[in-house]
Amino acid sequence: MQQLTKQKIARFLSDESGPTAVEYAVMLALILAVCIAAFATMGSASANLWTDNTTQIDTFMNN
């Protein structure tokens, strides 16, 4: 098992597509960070919108 792991690591290090995989991983991490930030911002705005709408509906129904 250990020999197989060493062989795979050696093959990975000699493979030219390694840097490309790292570049894709970095791009994916950046895209995910932007998406998380956007969803967090939109989530707060959406929660406020629902709260305001609920308050207005409750006010209308109670009058």
Kindly report, residue by residue over 14-43, the tens digit of the pLDDT. Answer: 777 667 888 899 999 999 999 999 988 888
* Distant-in-sequence, close-in-space partners of 12: CB < 8 Å, separation ≥ 6: 18
User: Is the confidence at residue 59, as pLDDT, over 90?
Assistant: yes
Q: How far is CA 54 from CA 24, 42, 44, 62, in A?
A: 44, 18, 15, 12
Determine the Cα–Cα distance for residues 10 and 15; give it in Å rounded to an integer. Answer: 9
* Distant-in-sequence, close-in-space partners of 1: CB < 8 Å, separation ≥ 6: none
**Chain-wide mean pLDDT for the chain?**
87
Distance spanning both ends of the chain, measured CA to CA: 75
User: Which residue type occupies 26?
Assistant: V
- Please give the model's pTM, rounded to 2 decimal places: 0.48
- Domain definitions of the chain by residue range: 1-62
